[in-house]
């Protein structure tokens, strides 16, 4: 049995034994490892099992990432919003920024540039507050989203 298989078994036993802290901690580690290997259906299944013990921002976040990666943006949007609410209630700014960035990605892909820009503006502010190393990259994403919005408005205005 591999270490990951052992962790999955520990998660299963923790869920069965109604031990949320253990299930969440182990589940988070397994999902992180599986994200690197693109095992999105496994991630979704493990997150859902962990969520039977109650709301968990990290599980919702990973579930959303799995759903986004498997072409289910509406479901991902709802899960990112759940994760965001939990991160905010815990004053967990790094998680909040990550959830907002992913929400922006979904909005942008759907052509909702204003929604994307609003989320990334908050991400940039959170990055500044915590001196996050992604600040410059996130500013570049914000600038790109604004350019895309302006181009979209120019095309839409020219067609109307």
The domain that contains 74 carries what CATH number?
1.25.40.10
pLDDT at residue 79 tops 70: yes
Helix H or strand E encompassing 54: none
Residue 39 is classified by DSSP as -
Answer with the one of 41, 56, 90 that is the final residue of a domain: 90
Give the whole-angstrom CA distance, residue 57 versus residue 46. 14
95 contacts: CB under 8 Å, gap ≥ 6: 57, 58, 61, 83, 87
pLDDT recorded at residue 158: 58
**CB proximity list for 14: less than 8 A, separation 6 or greater:** 20, 22, 23, 26
If pLDDT is split at 50, 70 and 90, which confidence band does 1 have? confident
Of the residues 42, 69, 90, which one is the last residue of a structural domain?
90
For residue 6, the model assigns a pLDDT of 94
Tell whether the model's pLDDT for residue 96 goes beyond 90.
Answer: yes
Mean of all residue pLDDT scores within the chain: 94
In a domain, 106, yes or no: yes
14 and 84 share a domain?
yes
Q: Which residues lie closer than 8 Å to 142 by C-beta, 6 or more apart? A: 117, 120, 121, 123, 124
Average pLDDT over residues 17-31: 94
Judgement on whether residues 70 and 124 belong to the same structural domain of the protein = no
pLDDT average, residue stretch 38-67: 96
Q: Are residues 28 and 83 in the same domain?
A: yes
pLDDT in tens, 99-152: 999 999 999 999 999 999 999 999 999 999 989 999 999 999 999 999 999 998
pLDDT confidence of residue 56: 96
Neighbours of 39 (CB within 10 A): 17
How many domains does one find in the chain? 2
Tell me the average pLDDT across 40-52.
96
User: Which CATH number is 147's domain given?
Assistant: 1.20.58
Calpha distance 128→47 (Å, rounded):
31
Residue with tokens 């759940």: 82
> How far is Cα 126 from Cα 135, in angstroms, rounded to an integer?
9
Q: Are residues 114 and 142 in the same domain?
A: yes
Confidence (pLDDT) at 35: 87
* Interval 140-159: pLDDT, tens: 999 999 999 999 888 876 55
Question: Of the candidates 117, 113, 109, 107, which has an alpha carbon nearest to the alpha carbon of residue 154?
Answer: 113
Q: Does 82 lie in the same domain as 141?
A: no
Q: Which domain holds residue 28?
A: 1-90
| pLDDT, position 152 | 87
Band the pLDDT of 70: cuts 50, 70, 90.
very high
Asked whether residue 160 is assigned to any structural domain, the reply reads no
Same-domain check for residues 75 and 113? no
Residue 101 lies in a domain: yes
Please identify, among 58, 90, 122, the residue that sits at the C-terminal boundary of a domain: 90
């Amino acid at each position: 049995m591999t270490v990951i298989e052992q962790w999955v078994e520990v998660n299963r036993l923790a869920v069965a034994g109604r031990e949320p802290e253990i299930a969440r901690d182990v589940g988070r580690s397994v999902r992180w490892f599986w994200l690197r290997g693109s095992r999105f259906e496994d991630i979704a299944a493990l997150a859902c099992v962990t969520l039977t013990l109650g709301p968990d921002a990290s599980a919702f976040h990973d579930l959303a990432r799995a759903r986004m990666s498997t072409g289910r943006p509406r479901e991902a949007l709802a899960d990112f919003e759940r994760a965001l609410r939990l991160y905010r209630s815990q004053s967990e700014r790094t998680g909040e920024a990550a959830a907002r960035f992913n929400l922006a990605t979904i909005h942008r892909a759907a052509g909702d540039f204003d929604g994307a820009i609003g989320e990334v503006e908050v991400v940039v502010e959170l990055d500044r507050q915590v001196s996050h190393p992604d600040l410059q990259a996130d500013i570049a994403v914000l600038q790109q989203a604004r350019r895309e919005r302006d181009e979209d408005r120019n095309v839409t205005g020219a067609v109307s």
